[in-house]
A and B are shown apart, each in its own frame.
Chain A
């Protein structure tokens, strides 16, 4: 055996636990779900091959299309808003503030609180009759909406709640901001750039890798949003928060339609892959990695 081959086998031996886990717990279920997506399968009886019937039924399923619309709405608004909010908070926390460390901790705390506790807290905040939010709005003469009770406001409510959970992205932006060389700001100042110019022409280009990362992870998470709607609204009112994965879960594990749910899962997988590839493709134009010419 040649030394490179030996080295390769040794390497393989060391990473084999991970490879086995990956094959057994990821690749195998993934391929199995692809097979199930072409079958009528209720998890209790053997699957029955139905070709593309699940996929064609999805096109005619108005509740499925409603779930798709809800999810796109959530992705389009929650992801950019989340990235912007995280950047602004990180930017503020990067200034020479008193109690800076305490503030950083406070913004991170919501991440470590279980989602069920966060959800119940926000259900109280959003209550239109006795909730904190409408009481504050009433102080400035605004009659707040019914939030979670209103089909028009239920999705914005969940998006607002999602902003509460940007602590992870804040940390990433903070690290990126602290990595921006001081010399670049000095040079910009010498060239006559004011504070806004420095942010626009120095800070933002230098943190674009962090923006790309936050956008990517945010998009993937938003497409799969589940727990908040499951706990807070169960898809209501009038299916206005019935998101894609919630609909998928119901069909797979409550309505005995795993084949149908698998078809949904593969469509979602395809969409996420396409969006991710597109984002990566365009990133060459707007993401700047330090050291590039």
Chain B
């Protein structure tokens, strides 16, 4: 049958596709015609900065608000803030792929700085009229050091990261005196014994003292025992010291109170949660926590529960008040196309105006001296003032070790503490193996 219909053959389809692609390519090459505005006022160069950080939710909103404020002051710089979840692995992958963000917020600088991934900021700091290093807590500045240079600035959640939290309801019910808090680990054991509630079948209804939590960080045991696990000037680890063997023995003694499996299970129950649910439910009387703990408990704890915060006992027996001043740090990645603009943002994070905006939106407190002074302490979550005043009242206040193998050291020490707690490993032997492992990795870093 004769027909005038045109059929879509394979040839015509390919032809049409080819023409379309060519047309699209050509149109992309066309130079846009200048507009009247272009002639009248040449636009300033627009700079785009990628900034990655770990927080989602309110924490992430705070970062976005801080970035918006920065752009209000610097209209030629557009910030692209991004919550990256597992921030380290994404940053490493992006860097390896040759497309790193301009700025990233991590806990410390040394792991990236030691491997050549960061831009040193000492020259920027020196010429800055905005950044005043004296305004930072000196312990917080430890987190930006590596090999005698600074690689970023403390930028978020820089406060105290170690306190002994107590469930005041349980403490008062047990008749313990809150004016005479435990000053050493023996007294802490006595308190734990008075507070714990275990039935005849071994079920733990109330755990007296949860030795896990933030205290597990090697940085925390460092300040508690008065011995740094890593010496950033001599590039040496001290895990094979008596102090760390004793720290593990102390931890084990708390495992032994209720049985290692129960302790491990409390840890499993809190896995991945900002504040352990057992603590918020009032099932743990004493536990270690950081500056995020008071706010999290205020928002999440069972109704009617009250919490108090104090210094963790001094394990060195010197009667000191140990305080771990943790922080997050913002840093500029090597490979940023606009390091000067990135520095401008870093500089801006040091201002009270930026920290106020972040605080108003997210509740994050940056422990610069002027910003702490500007806070209305009566408006803070109950107990948070301990973490602000601890920076000045603590008598042994240390920051994060400038350890290029910080992630490995933390993870392996945590696992070792558990192995010792279960009686599977001798503290001395385990620490010796850990010492060799991190020393080997350090040698690779220094060789490179």
Q: Shortest Cβ distance from A137 into chain B, in angstroms?
A: 11
Q: What 0/1 pattern do residues 212 to 240 of B give for CB contact below 8 A with A?
A: 00000000000000000000000000000
Instruction: Find chain A residues with CB under 8 A from B261 CB.
Output: 128, 146, 149-150, 237
- A54 contacts chain B at the CB level, 8 A cutoff: no
Binds B, one of A42-50, A67-75, A198-206, A277-285: A42-50
CB pair A253 B88 closer than 8 Å: yes
Binds B, one of A162-170, A180-188, A211-219, A226-234: A226-234
Instruction: Find chain A residues with CB under 8 A from B40 CB.
Output: none
Compute how far the CA of A221 lies from the CA of B179 in the bound complex, rounded to whole angstroms.
56
Binds A, one of B110-118, B317-325, B342-350: B110-118
- A255 contacts chain B at the CB level, 8 A cutoff: yes
Tell whether A238 pairs with B262 under 8 Å between CB atoms, given A43-B95, A44-B116, A233-B271.
Answer: no
CB pair A236 B92 closer than 8 Å: no
Contact of B10 (CB < 8 Å), options: A10, A150, A234: A10
- B6 contacts chain A at the CB level, 8 A cutoff: no
Q: Shortest Cβ distance from A132 into chain B, in angstroms?
A: 14
Contact of B407 (CB < 8 Å), options: A148, A237, A254: A254
Compute how far the CA of A43 lies from the CA of B117 in the bound complex, rounded to whole angstroms.
10
Residue on B nearest A124 in the bound complex, by CB: B269
Compute how far the CA of A254 lies from the CA of B107 in the bound complex, rounded to whole angstroms.
13
CB pair A40 B444 closer than 8 Å: yes
Q: Shortest Cβ distance from B273 into chain A, in angstroms?
A: 9
Instruction: Find chain B residues with CB under 8 A from A238 CB.
Output: 264, 415, 418-419, 422, 424
Instruction: Find chain B residues with CB under 8 A from A80 CB.
Output: none
Instruction: Find chain B residues with CB under 8 A from A45 CB.
Output: 115-116, 448
Instruction: Find chain A residues with CB under 8 A from B201 CB.
Output: 143
Tell whether A127 pairs with B269 under 8 Å between CB atoms, given A151-B422, A235-B415.
Answer: yes
Q: Shortest Cβ distance from A116 into chain B, in angstroms?
A: 8
Q: Which of A10-54 contact B (CB under 8 A)?
A: 10, 13, 40, 42-45, 48
Q: Is the interface of B mostly helix, strand, loop or mixed?
A: helix
CB pair A146 B419 closer than 8 Å: no
Tell whether A128 pairs with B203 under 8 Å between CB atoms, given A10-B10, A44-B116, A236-B268.
Answer: yes
Compute how far the CA of A44 lies from the CA of B116 in the bound complex, rounded to whole angstroms.
7
CB pair B269 A123 closer than 8 Å: yes
Q: Which of B194-220 contact A (CB under 8 A)?
A: 201-205
Q: What 0/1 pattern do residues 148 to 186 of B give for CB contact below 8 A with A?
A: 000000000000000000000000000000000000000
Instruction: Find chain B residues with CB under 8 A from A149 CB.
Output: 261-268
Task: Name which of B95, B116, B268, B448 has the most chain A CB atoms within 10 A of its CB.
Answer: B268
Q: Shortest Cβ distance from A246 into chain B, in angstroms?
A: 11
A selection of 29 A-B contacts at a CB cut-off of 8 Å is A40-B444, A43-B95, A43-B96, A44-B95, A116-B272, A120-B272, A127-B265, A129-B204, A129-B205, A146-B261, A147-B265, A148-B265, A149-B261, A149-B263, A150-B261, A151-B422, A231-B271, A235-B415, A236-B267, A236-B415, A237-B261, A237-B264, A238-B415, A238-B418, A238-B424, A250-B411, A254-B408, A255-B411, A256-B408
Could you list which residues of chain B lie within 8 angstroms of chain A, going by C-beta atoms? 10, 14, 86, 88-89, 92-93, 95-96, 111-112, 115-117, 201-205, 260-269, 271-272, 283, 405, 407-408, 411, 415, 418-419, 422, 424, 441, 444, 448
Closest 9 CB pairs of A and B: A149-B265, A253-B89, A237-B264, A146-B261, A149-B264, A148-B268, A44-B115, A149-B261, A43-B96
Could you list which residues of chain A lie within 8 angstroms of chain B, going by C-beta atoms? 10, 13, 40, 42-45, 48, 116, 120, 123, 126-129, 143, 146-151, 231-239, 249-250, 252-256, 258
